[in-house]
Chain A
Amino acid sequence: MSPAYAYYPGCSGLGTSMEYEQSTRAICEALDVNLVDIPDWSCCGSTPAHTVDHTLSCALAARNLGLVEKMGLDTVITPCPSCLTNLKTAVHRMGDEEFMRRVNSLLDEPVGNTVRVKSVLQALIEDVGPEKLAERVVRPLSGLRVAPYYGCIMNRPPEVMEFDDHENPVAMDRLMEAIGAEVAPFPLKVECCGASFGVARKDVVARLSGKLLDLAEANQAMAMVTACPLCQMNLDLRQGQINAATKSQHEMPVFYYTQLIGLALGLDESSLGLNKLCVNPGLALREAERKTAEAAS
């Protein structure tokens, strides 16, 4: 068993991205990545907090970093890029003592800023690695051609996020190759999907997410793979709205990368929350199986 990580699930993991949360826990367990939940974690502030004030935003994130310090663990990991950004930005900005003092003045108990923050994706690449993952695959997804979409903030800005490449990230591509999937070229890997404007400005999401779906389809992807709850929701739940707004007819399943890894590891589908996806992935998965069988015969 590898060293333990403090685990920060994030609010959407309890609701709209529960399948990401379920499948993350399932594959971490299967791959011996040891997650210890942060007791009584609170919201990191997400996008809304930093639109109000940077000290407030960092304090909301820092309360959680303080809880991790108390657990005696040195690294916290989270599946959600938005939580990741807030936690990492707090750590980065608290490098400035004056700023840290202001953040601490909002908290019940001051934090020492000793904790490291990583995404679950980074932990999987660094701790498990594609080779070891490939060895554990029992059901290769070789017939499945996927477009990996990272979203805008997982790797940007590079001096804060310190992971992978900020224009052409490859961590998810490597994991997808390790489970046998075929990776389609996807030059919009780090473009924005419309973020949290889905409720107030649907037109913005339709345009930006619409472009992503168009490109995935043009590059003959059978599915998109994401690592972000907001991206997944815009592309999947809102796909009907996007089709209506952009006069397209996409029926593109949008997986979390953890769900596909789980499938390849032979985990039970119900533990991966495949039934929570809006665009039914059944067709693409069956097509993939058919292609795999064909290639084998």
Chain B
Amino acid sequence: MEILDLTESLDREFISQVEEESGQRVRLCYQCGNCTAGCPYTFAFDIPVSRMMRLLQAGQKDQLLSSHSVWLCATCESCTTRCPNGIDVARIVDVLRHMARREGYATERGVKVFWDSFLESVAKHGRVYEMGLLTSYIAKTGKVWTDAELGPRILPKGKLHLTPSRIQGREAVARIFERYKEASK
């Protein structure tokens, strides 16, 4: 078992950064476990959500940002809704995910690539183009579409368009992304 020197690895800077970006007070968590009890993803998480809160109080930046949990949280808002201390836990997990992105952690690469492909599609067309999103996901992950068996079920329904729906305002949307990139430099 790995022995952790909590004093050594306590990163106060990190705690206040999470508090600042999420607008939440990390100290308020008293480890009741309600968030974990209601979290439908605990079975897939490597660190359950209440434990993430505890590690956050202990300033364990590296453990948190390299966790799978930050990528697997679905923002289902169960933890936020049920926290007796009114902590917006889902927002904290979202902020940890932002930090993990910025610092180059991506322990669930498929999940990240899927979301990135989605946003690229929005930046390009102004709306998400589902067929293009899937093509780009396959190209980037090198996975042949693992949903191939769904093709025969969905294609005859005429639900997946083969061309994007382009809008007048697509440049206005692209500018939102550009300004965001500029501002976050």
Q: Residues of A at under 8 Å CB distance from B?
A: 11-12, 14-18, 40-43, 45-56, 59-60, 63, 105-108, 152-153, 156-158, 166, 190-192, 194-204, 207-208, 237-238, 240-241, 275-276, 278
Docked-complex contact B40 and A191, CB < 8 angstroms: yes
6 A-B residue pairs with Cβ-Cβ distance under 8 Å, sorted by A, are A48-B114, A48-B118, A56-B176, A153-B75, A196-B74, A276-B159
Question: A278 to nearest B CB, angstroms?
Answer: 5
Docked-complex contact A204 and B72, CB < 8 angstroms: yes
Residues in B with CB closer than 8 Å to A15 are 130, 159-161
Q: For window 97-141 of chain B, which residues contact chain A by CB distance below 8 Å?
A: 97-98, 101, 108, 110-111, 113-116, 118-119, 122, 126-128, 130, 134, 137
Closest residue to A59 on the B side, CB-wise? B176
Residues in B with CB closer than 8 Å to A275 are 157
Docked-complex contact B108 and A201, CB < 8 angstroms: yes
Residues in B with CB closer than 8 Å to A202 are 146-147
Question: B120 to nearest A CB, angstroms?
Answer: 10
Closest residue to A278 on the B side, CB-wise? B153
Residues in B with CB closer than 8 Å to A105 are 179, 183
Residues in A with CB closer than 8 Å to B128 are 11, 43, 46
Docked-complex contact A207 and B43, CB < 8 angstroms: yes
Residues in B with CB closer than 8 Å to A48 are 114-116, 118-119
Docked-complex contact A157 and B176, CB < 8 angstroms: no
Docked-complex contact B154 and A278, CB < 8 angstroms: yes
Residue B7, interface by CB 8 Å:
no
Residues in B with CB closer than 8 Å to A50 are 75, 94
Closest residue to B160 on the A side, CB-wise? A15
Docked-complex contact B184 and A53, CB < 8 angstroms: yes
In this complex, the interface size class of chain B, counting residues with CB under 8 Å from chain A, is: 35 or more
Residues in A with CB closer than 8 Å to B41 are 192, 204
Residues in B with CB closer than 8 Å to A194 are 74
Residue B172, interface by CB 8 Å:
yes
- Partner among A16, A45, A56, A241 whose Cβ is within 8 Å of the Cβ of B160: A16
- Partner among B118, B134, B167, B179 whose Cβ is within 8 Å of the Cβ of A106: B179
Question: A96 to nearest B CB, angstroms?
Answer: 8
- Partner among A42, A156, A240 whose Cβ is within 8 Å of the Cβ of B80: A156
Question: A72 to nearest B CB, angstroms?
Answer: 19
- Partner among A12, A14, A158, A197 whose Cβ is within 8 Å of the Cβ of B81: A158
Docked-complex contact B127 and A11, CB < 8 angstroms: yes
CA–CA, A105 to B81, complex, Å? Answer: 31
- Beyond A51-B97, A60-B173, whether A152 also contacts B76 by CB under 8 A is yes
Residues in A with CB closer than 8 Å to B74 are 47, 152, 192, 194-197
Of the listed residues A15, A59, A153, A196, the one surrounded by the most CB atoms of chain B closer than 10 A to its CB is: A15
- Beyond A14-B127, A16-B154, A42-B127, whether A195 also contacts B159 by CB under 8 A is no
Residues in B with CB closer than 8 Å to A108 are 172, 175
CA–CA, A2 to B155, complex, Å? Answer: 38
Question: A191 to nearest B CB, angstroms?
Answer: 6
Question: B90 to nearest A CB, angstroms?
Answer: 8
CA–CA, A15 to B172, complex, Å? Answer: 23
Residues in A with CB closer than 8 Å to B146 are 199, 202
Residue B78, interface by CB 8 Å:
yes
Residues in B with CB closer than 8 Å to A17 are 159
- Beyond A52-B98, A237-B153, whether A40 also contacts B173 by CB under 8 A is no
Question: A162 to nearest B CB, angstroms?
Answer: 13
Residues in B with CB closer than 8 Å to A199 are 110, 114, 134, 137, 146-147
Residue B150, interface by CB 8 Å:
yes
Closest 8 CB pairs between A and B? A200-B110, A48-B115, A152-B76, A156-B77, A195-B74, A192-B76, A48-B118, A43-B122
